[in-house]
Amino acid sequence: MGVIALTTDFGWGSAYVAQMKGVLLSATPDCRIVDISHSIKPQDVQETALLLRGTAFSLPLGTVHLVVVDPGVGTDRRAIAIKAKGMFFVGPDNGVLGDIAALEGAEVVHLNKPEFFREPLSTTFHGRDIFAPVAAELAAGLELTDVGTVVTDPHPGLLGTPSRNDTTFIGQVLGPDSFGNLMTNLPGNSIDQTKPISLNDMDIPWVQTYAEAQKGELVVLLGSDGFAEIAVRDGSALEKLGPSVVGAGIECPMVESAHVD
């Protein structure tokens, strides 16, 4: 029984989600559907990539991630599928899957075999007509190379990697979670967590748990996904710092043995 995990910007309660589930359940009646999110902001490819960072490898091995945030539907952007670390990913080649495709050992194929597509193929809804049918085939046991042709030039990832000099990482605020905690691209295990980080000319201290912070205090801690995260005890860092903080740079001292791939 394969797991198929859905990440879209269709909105909870959208007919489009039901139509994709209809395709999945008709093709593989025993598949297990997990709704990861349907509330990605419309066409927000970076938010999608960031959500996938936290969910891609959380579900059981062999899960097929069906990712449909697709502003370029109907253009010549490619449809792709990826196998990485035992998981499958199906979606548009517009960057939402770029960080996955860049993982060591990842294989990428171009979905160019119309025999797997739904007939008639619409120009506005490849989620239903291309991605869902292919996801069902992968969940049912087809190999990655059965459904497309290998490509080596997928769209680059969107989450960036911190730059560095001898002693310092310079990373970025990527976006908020639902509590207003700010996620970053700074890998916690490479950062010296005894020294404050620097964001917009503020020095922000590290804590191990929310409980160490004062109510309302801005702190940085190791998020549950292994990256540094900026938070406010019993509050929202996003609200405290304002939406313009997304994209801001962060400086922090690295541990001596750190290396960034």
Site residues for a second copy, 67-96, by CB under 8 A, read: 71-75
Distance CA 185, CA 139 (A): 31
User: Which range, of 137-145, 149-157, 191-199, 217-225, touches a second copy by CB under 8 A?
Assistant: 217-225
Q: Check if the beta carbon of residue 234 is closer than 8 Å to that of residue 177.
A: no
Half-sphere CA count of 171, side-chain side, radius 13 A: 25
Q: Which is nearer to a second copy, 10 or 88 (CB)?
A: 10
Q: Check if the beta carbon of residue 112 is closer than 8 Å to that of residue 62.
A: no
The SS3 call for residue 79 is strand
Q: Check if the beta carbon of residue 81 is closer than 8 Å to that of residue 92.
A: no
Q: Check if the beta carbon of residue 49 is closer than 8 Å to that of residue 158.
A: yes
Is 239 an interacting residue with respect to a second copy (CB under 8 A)? no
Helix or strand run (H / E) with residue 250? strand 249-253
User: Which range, of 88-96, 175-183, 192-200, 250-258, touches a second copy by CB under 8 A?
Assistant: 175-183
The SS3 call for residue 3 is strand
User: Which range, of 66-74, 97-105, 186-194, 240-248, touches a second copy by CB under 8 A?
Assistant: 66-74
Q: Which is nearer to a second copy, 95 or 109 (CB)?
A: 95
Q: Which is nearer to a second copy, 17 or 109 (CB)?
A: 17
Q: Which is nearer to a second copy, 222 or 250 (CB)?
A: 222
The tokens for 224 are 């549950």
Distance CA 127, CA 231 (A): 35
Task: Please tell me what DSSP assigns to residue 213.
Answer: S
Count the neighbouring beta carbons within 10 Å of the beta carbon of residue 218. Answer: 20
Among 85, 86, 122, 247, binds a second copy (CB under 8 A): 122
Is 29 an interacting residue with respect to a second copy (CB under 8 A)? yes
| Amino acid at the residue 97 | L
Among 152, 211, 256, 257, binds a second copy (CB under 8 A): 211
Among 44, 107, 217, 225, binds a second copy (CB under 8 A): 225
User: Which range, of 54-62, 104-112, 149-157, 195-203, touches a second copy by CB under 8 A?
Assistant: 54-62
Is 44 an interacting residue with respect to a second copy (CB under 8 A)? no
Among 119, 165, 166, 178, binds a second copy (CB under 8 A): 178
User: Which range, of 11-19, 151-159, 193-201, 237-245, touches a second copy by CB under 8 A?
Assistant: 11-19
CA gyration radius for the chain? 20
Is 32 an interacting residue with respect to a second copy (CB under 8 A)? yes
Give least dist CB 229 to a second copy, A. Answer: 8
Q: Which of 48, 21, 28, 22 is nearest to 37 (CA)?
A: 48
Q: Check if the beta carbon of residue 20 is closer than 8 Å to that of residue 6.
A: yes
| Residues found near a second copy in the complex (CB under 8 A) | 1, 3, 5, 10-19, 21-22, 25-26, 29, 32, 34-40, 42-43, 51, 54-55, 58-60, 71-75, 122-125, 128, 177-179, 208-211, 221-225, 234
